[in-house]
Structure 1
Amino acid sequence: MNTARQLRDKLDHARRLLDEGEPTLATLAQNVGLSASHLQRQFTARFGLSPAEYLAQRKLGTLKLALREGSDVSAALYDAGYGSPSRVYEGGAAKLGMTPARYRSGGAGEQIRWSIADTALGQALVATTGRGICMIELGEDVAALEARLRAEFPGAQLERVDAGRDEFLAPRLRAVADALAGKQAQVPLDLIGTAFQKKVWDALMKIPRGQTRSYAQIAQQIGHPRASRAVANVCANNHVAIVVPCHRVVRGDGSLGGYRWGLPMKQRVLERERVA
């Protein structure tokens, strides 16, 4: 068996051990026959997450599933391996974007105001929590835009507000309209996601206007050089159009790749930014 195959087998074994329990990095390394530092680097390169991040996501996934299935919150927390309720509020709740009890009920208790704005790129649904904008969706079918919002936040209290009729939402609508028109604008965001997703989003927002990066370059930039596909998946699931500029990420050969809001829109925005 060649060395590369042996390494893949060891990394796959490490992942199975993480799926079955909560070994420390040292214990994990000892079980698979690698040094801790080598395991850390190679696991991250192969799976796009460190062993600790992988374990955290596995636990969070277990918690989400149990809550969605109606499990008691306390039982779900302990079954997922958090040990105490405070653990999920310190770490997992930040990734859920809400308390476990609210997640269990599909986001019940979260208040989200939204409106439709006419922008340089057509109609945009802009939704915001008290912390900032959580969704910007583009499209001409208002019913379809609202359906996407409800699918993303199925149990939240959603309130449509006429543009300019809400002191909190109105300035955010203007900021989004400016951003979609290609102007410089400060848009407060409430981005809810995993540690990996946030790394990708941060990297995207550092790409200068008029420039592009490949999925591989973003993966390299965030320290996960073999996670190009994972980066592409994060871009495909971006719910904040233009402001989180996934349109600036292209394939390694320079072709556009995919885009949540359609390739003609991606081409249009990129050309506008290059001219500007």
Structure 2
Amino acid sequence: MTIQTPESRYHYHVMRRALDLIDAAEAPLSLEELASAMGMSAAHFQRLFTQWVGVSPKRYQQYLALGQARALLASRHTVLEAADGAGLSGSGRLHDLFLRWEAMRPGDYARGGDGLLIRWGWFDTPFGRTLAMATDHGLCGMAFAEETGEAAAMADLRARWPKAEYVEAPEAIRQWVDAGFAQKGEARLHMIGAPFQIKVWEALMQVPTGHVTTYSDIAQAIGHPKAVRAVGTAVGRNPVSFLIPCHRALRKSGGLGGYHWGLPVKRAILAWESARTGA
């Protein structure tokens, strides 16, 4: 396992600390106030922050504001089309990177991963330390460990496929992880789940970066309009965080809802995507 260092988590923690400060503030914080709280000069903080998100700290605060989820829902709400029209039956492309995916057969899922070789590794990403797992067909798991801890993230993913064989081999899967976070190149996904879950995850992959949808819209899209609660459960059980964008699913009221790896991570991802798309 790669040793975790303060430097490897720096970007995420700068963003997380800024989020906490902004949430606690009654008014927007100036560049000088934020930089001082981070123990940096204004110029240094501005440069690093802009390098990470592509916009100034002042602009970034707008994306982290408590009302951002509601603003996204009002202005960037994607109403998913019916399943047939949205093409939710096989491989396809995301709006922001080439992403090919295939789903495991239901019978294979029921066997708990028996016969599967899953390679895994730890990676430094914009959202801190990230555990990635992949079969020969593509990434099957991605977990953010900053809120839960590395041991819990590992136990969580391995419990999903308890009979699989696990081998630490980060270099074997690095190209897919890098493609996903760089949003260019080709990443591959291997979705391992029950048929209903896979339908939900396929629907999520139709939501463009910088947009959001609701649990009820997903239920409508997959042909089960009354199964909103079941959809929420399937969203929460998404094993490939970020690439299967469960963070883009909000409550109809505009509330963030839950997030398996911690709400601060969900808000950070939405802010990161919004800053890059001008949402």
Match of 2:106 among 95, 103, 126: 95
* Cα distance change on mapping 1:216 and 1:108 into 2, 3 Å: closer
Separation of aligned partners in 2, 1:237 and 1:199: 13
Equivalent residue letter for 2:124: D
The alpha-carbon distance between structure 1 residues 173 and 274, as it changes in their structure 2 partners (threshold 3 A), is closer
Tell me the SS of whatever aligns to 1:189: strand
Which is greater in Rg?
1
Does the aligned pair in 2 maintain the 1:118–1:177 contact within 8 Å? no
TM superposition shift of 1:185: 4.9
State which of 164, 167, 173 in structure 1 corresponds to 2:177.
173
Give identity over the alignment, percent.
39
Contact 2:113 2:163 in 1 (8 A): yes
Q: Which residue in 1 is equivalent to 2:219? A: 219
The 5 A counterparts of 1:1-276 are 94-97=105-108, 103=111, 106-140=112-146, 141-161=149-169, 163-164=170-171, 166=172, 169-178=173-182, 183-276=183-276
SS in 1 for 2:207: coil
Aligned equivalents of 1:139 and 1:111: distance in 2? 23
Unaligned runs of 5+ in 1: 1-92
Residues 71-97 of structure 1: CA deviation (Å, up to 9, x unaligned): xxxxxxxxxxxxxxxxxxxxxx81143
TM-score, structure 2 normalization: 0.57
How many pairs are equivalent? 171
Distance in 2, matches of 1:112 and 1:132, equals 10
Q: Which amino acid aligns with 1:190?
A: H
> How far 1:198 moved relative to its partner?
1.8
1:269/1:107 CA distance change after superposition, 3 Å: closer
Higher helix share: 1
TM-score under structure 1 normalisation? 0.58
1:206 is paired with a residue of what secondary structure? coil
| Residue pair 1:129, 1:190 contacting (<8 A) in 2 also | yes
What secondary structure is seen at the aligned counterpart in 2 of 1:158? strand
For 2:160 and 2:140, the matched residues in 1 are separated by: 10
C-alpha RMSD of the superposition: 1.9
Q: Pick closer, same or farther for the CA change 1:116–1:96 going to 2, 3 Å.
A: farther
Q: Aligned equivalents of 2:113 and 2:207: distance in 1?
A: 32
Looking at structure 2, the residues matched to 152 and 253 of structure 1 have their Cα atoms a distance apart, in angstroms, of 31
